[in-house]
Amino acid sequence: MIEFCASNMHHGTDRLMKKLEENPDYDVIEYGCLGNCGECYLAPFGLVNGEIIAGETIEELEELMMKAIVKQQADREALDRLIDDM
């Protein structure tokens, strides 16, 4: 799940949100507020499965989000393997 704050759209996250919404593998949600006002004011940010991801630019934010998605998926797969081995 990828979440964006409507108040952060002035950083250009609206364009990234629309791009990510095109991928059917992602659940993309926009909220009026995510409760991270300091983060929201300073830089483009969003949440990936509850983890705050922020970048200095939209391009950096997208790159960091994609890395977080890959890492979180790898972590889930590793955990599943551990559980299966028990």
Identify how many contiguous H helices and E strands the chain contains and give both numbers.
Answer: 3, 4
Residue 32 binned pLDDT confidence (cut-offs 50, 70, 90): confident
pLDDT of 79 > 80? The answer is yes
Confidence band, pLDDT 50/70/90 cuts, at residue 39 = confident
The span from the CA of 67 to the CA of 54, in Å, is 12
Of 24, 59, 30, the residue nearest 47 (C-alpha): 30
Whole-model pTM?
0.85
Whole-number pLDDT of residue 59: 96
Task: Provide the 3-class DSSP secondary structure of residue 48.
Answer: strand
Torsion, Cα of 52, 14, 28, 33 (10° steps): 60
DSSP-assigned beta bridge partners for residue 51: 48
